[in-house]
Structure 1
Amino acid sequence: MAETVNLRQFRRQKARADAEKRAEQNRAVSGRTKAEKQRDRLEKDSARSFLDGHRRDRS
C-alpha cells in the first residue's frame, strides 16, 4: 500500500522551500555593492541603446 501523506505538512514544506528560493534570489540581488549595481545598470543601458540604435524601421 502507499504511504499516507499529511497534505498540510506537504504544503508547509513546499511554502518553506519556495520562501527559501525567493530569499536566495533576493540575497543575490541585494547582496551587491553600489558599484556593482551601477556597473550592471550601465551595461544594461548600453545594451539597450545599442539595440535601439540598430533597430530596423518598418515602412
Structure 2
Amino acid sequence: MAEVVNLRRERKRAKRRDAEQDAEAQRLAHGRPQHLRQLDAARREQRDRTLDGHKLGTGDPS
C-alpha cells in the first residue's frame, strides 16, 4: 500500500525550497561588495571609451 502524504506539508516544503533558490540567486546577483561593483563599473566605462575611440568617422569632414 502507498504511503499517505500530507499535501499541505509538501506544498509548504516546495514553497520553501523555491524561496531558498530565489534567495540564493538574489544573493549572487546583489550581494557583492561596493568596491567590486565600482571596479566593474570603471572597467565597463573604460571598455566603452576604448570602443568609442576606435569608431570610424562618418566620412563627412564637417
Do both share a fold (TM > 0.5)? yes
The corresponding residue for 1:11 is 11
Q: Which of these two proteins has the greater Rg computed from alpha carbons?
A: 2
Give distance in 2, aligned partners of 1:37 and 1:9: 41
Identity %: 42
Gapped regions of structure 1 (runs ≥ 5): 50-59
Q: How many residues align?
A: 47
Where do 4+ consecutive residues of structure 1 move more than 2 Å?
Answer: 33-38
> Structure 2-normalised TM-score?
0.57
The corresponding residue for 1:20 is 20
Question: SS of the residue aligned with 1:18?
Answer: helix
Gapped regions of structure 2 (runs ≥ 5): 52-62
Over aligned residues, Cα RMSD in angstroms? 2.8
